[in-house]
Structure 1
Amino acid sequence: MKNENPILVALSHGLKTDLFPLVGAGMVVLGIGFDGDVDDDLFPVSATTMVQYWAGPATRLRARGYAVRGDVPDGGAVFDRVIVHVPKQMDEMQYLLAAGWRVLKPGGDLIAVAANDAGGSRLGPVLSDAGLDVSESSKAKCRVVRVVKSGVDVPDAPLIQWLGYGTFRVHPDTQMTTCPGLFSWDRVDAGSALLRDHLPSDLSGVGADFGCGYGFLSRTVLNQCAGVTLLHGLDADARAVAAAIINMQPDGERFRGHHVDIPAGSGLTGLDFIVMNPPFHTGARESHDLGRAFIARAHESLRKGGIMVMVANAHLGYEVDLNRLFSAVNKLYEGGVFKIYQCVK
């Protein structure tokens, strides 16, 4: 099928120029990091398993008929081909390449792709420096690399080290479990820290943290608001939900994690309060619509009289939506690049 997605254009170019062959009869394929917008020539439905952490893309892939899982298998070498759309963050990139290599059969090939400005330009050197024999092609400002697993002289040492980069670890500042690839995984996000410092302490009842990540704000709510009986943590990234559940273990039944594509619906109603630091990027592109969707879903999920407390970058201009949806909008803080709102349904 025709597709204008640059990543898929680059992969199709690699196929046409014989960088790698078509999927043959009986082959099994693992795709990592792809959306529902995929090419049947590259990913035959009957032969392909998809790894997708994100709830929205995972739903779209399932609708196409793909088997989808939320993590990379850690079993034996069972795939004839692994295709990875690698992320820009280096630790996460190296982990996914190593995890893909681990499940690849001898004689199989690892294919990796990324936009040149999102990690593609360093894909070849990263794999070559690990001692692998790399073939490359370039198209649509993206790079595609291929490595065949010969079964002899496999350089295990760097790849074993890379596998460790994808594991959960404790954040040195917060003492909370996190991992590469999560939002603000290696630092405390400035907006979330600001909301922590201005969070009303009288929040109570049943609430939610929309876009909870590894649980920084959830931890704040449960620590500072004694009247909260149950907090739902919602995030589109399955790894974030898993980390948040680990971080909230001391609170037992006061916390429940949910893997949810919030713009498509939270699945919750009648909440007493919601806290959130909504995302405003889709990949590298700024998207005001994403934050607006979070606001709309928050309004739907609250009971009448329920409270939403939100931090946002000041330039995003969410006031129109807030004033249209909520009966009262109060600005708790404004300074630098942030604003904090407390809104009543």
Structure 2
Amino acid sequence: MKTLFHPYEVDAVALPRKDARVLFLGAEPGFRLPSGFDAALHLVQGFRPHFRALQASGFKVTPQAEGVGFDAALVLAGRHRGQNELRIAEAIERVSPSGSIIVAGGKEDGIASLRKRIDELAPLDGHLPKHHGIAIWFARPADTGAASVLRAANPDLVVEGRFRTAPGMFSFDKVDTGSRLLVDNLPHDLRGSIADFCAGWGYVAAEVAARSSGISSLDLFEADFASLEAAKGNIGNTAAETHFFWTDLLSEPVERRYDAIVMNPPFHRSRAAEPEIGAGMIQAAAKALKPGGKLFMVANRQLPYEPVLAKAFSSHAEIARDGMFKVFSARR
């Protein structure tokens, strides 16, 4: 984020006018605006924990971009090339012609190749390395042809002929191996109210709905807004009443109580494993289950969740494993 604002700080790009509207795609909490940056920021962040932190800091933030005619755009690039290109396409479509678009990303995340890609479509006005990253900037072209090219290169995918996904979602190009192992080891007689914690784009929930006819309600909880929107279309026809919750399970309480919860929790935010995320999800699941309710979850084999399960549940057991993953059943 420091790299993103560096062109303003060294006067390589003029600060926006005080009455300007600036779109910020991929905004994350903790950024500091350069001195003299007084324009109105419109932040876009679909990851619920970041969204809530930005909102708590007083910013106007939405989970997906809204509106057109912005005077400028900022794009924070991440590790997903397709998502980066789609964000740049969004900036081109929503910024007025000749408005400035600044993109920054880490060198280890492929910003150099992204720079070459964008320069082929919309000639860059400049670039600057700083803080182990690179900032690039260009004027929004007179037409949106570059955006059309980027969108065509990164279409929505259809996984296994039925699940629609998009770049940037977890395991967007195939069913995750751990999720499949979880589904393959679930009982087919789940009944009552069921929840899928960390539902992603809906694979596990869709399979649960298809395999267990005794389900009365099925609730999906997911922190990524785009994935949850995709899940709404991926569940398919089911007799169960379905609800979708864009929620940070580590900090927002679950109001309903369930007979069973299925879960493939994330185990990292950065490149390193962070077992405390999964531990927090296990504790959230224990609180959301009815007495006697069951949790079914999958995890990487090396993650030490057994003590957490032992503390949060009356009993637990490993019911399956393969070379990478293990599946647990636990009773509240």
Place the TM-score, normalised by the shorter chain, in its bin. over 0.9
Please give the per-residue CA displacement for 1:206-233, whole angstroms capped at 9, x wherever unaligned: 0110110110000111011111111101
Letter in 1 for 2:148: I
- 1-structure distance, mates of 2:279, 2:155: 33
SS at match of 2:31: coil
- 1-structure distance, mates of 2:81, 2:33: 29
How far 1:165 moved relative to its partner?
5.5
- The answer to whether the aligner puts 1:310 opposite 2:277 as a matched pair is no
Name 2:102's counterpart in structure 1. 111
Name 1:4's counterpart in structure 2. none
SS at match of 1:312: strand
- 2-structure distance, mates of 1:100, 1:284: 27
Matched-pair contact (CA < 8 Å) for 2:193–2:260: yes
- The answer to whether the aligner puts 1:71 opposite 2:64 as a matched pair is yes
- 1-structure distance, mates of 2:36, 2:151: 25
Name 1:81's counterpart in structure 2. 72
Matched-pair contact (CA < 8 Å) for 1:81–1:104: yes
Matched-pair contact (CA < 8 Å) for 1:269–1:303: no
TM-score, normalised by the number of residues in structure 2: 0.94
Unaligned runs of 5+ in 1: 1-6
1:300 to 280, 287, 294: 287
- The answer to whether the aligner puts 1:321 opposite 2:319 as a matched pair is no
Matched-pair contact (CA < 8 Å) for 2:5–2:33: no
TM-score, normalised by the number of residues in structure 1: 0.90
1:238 to 210, 221, 225: 225
1:84-233 superposed matches below 5 A: 84-149=75-140, 151=142, 154=143, 156-164=144-152, 168-171=156-159, 173-233=160-220
Matched-pair contact (CA < 8 Å) for 1:83–1:111: yes
Matched-pair contact (CA < 8 Å) for 1:127–1:134: no
Matched-pair contact (CA < 8 Å) for 1:32–1:85: yes
Q: Percent identity?
A: 26
Please give the per-residue CA displacement for 1:159-196, whole angstroms capped at 9, x wherever unaligned: 2132345664422x151121111111111100001111
* Residues 45, 279 of structure 1: alpha-carbon distance in 2 compared, 3 angstrom cutoff: farther
CA RMSD between the two structures = 2.0
Matched-pair contact (CA < 8 Å) for 1:165–1:180: no
How far 1:253 moved relative to its partner?
5.1
Structure with greater helix percent: 1
Name 1:49's counterpart in structure 2. 42
- 2-structure distance, mates of 1:292, 1:165: 38
- 1-structure distance, mates of 2:112, 2:273: 23
Letter in 2 for 1:117: E
Name 1:26's counterpart in structure 2. 19
Letter in 2 for 1:110: I
Please give the per-residue CA displacement for 1:203-262, whole angstroms capped at 9, x wherever unaligned: 211011011011000011101111111110110011111111111241265221111111
Unaligned runs of 5+ in 2: none
2:254 to 232, 242, 267: 267
Matched-pair contact (CA < 8 Å) for 1:273–1:306: yes
- 2-structure distance, mates of 1:43, 1:313: 48
- 2-structure distance, mates of 1:251, 1:119: 42
SS at match of 1:188: coil
How many matched pairs?
Answer: 332
SS at match of 1:81: strand
- 2-structure distance, mates of 1:12, 1:133: 17
* Residues 46, 138 of structure 1: alpha-carbon distance in 2 compared, 3 angstrom cutoff: closer
- The answer to whether the aligner puts 1:330 opposite 2:321 as a matched pair is no
How far 1:44 moved relative to its partner?
5.8
How far 1:270 moved relative to its partner?
2.0
Matched-pair contact (CA < 8 Å) for 1:280–1:291: yes
How far 1:42 moved relative to its partner?
7.9
Letter in 1 for 2:72: R
Matched-pair contact (CA < 8 Å) for 2:48–2:225: yes
Which has the larger displacement, 42-51 or 56-65? 42-51
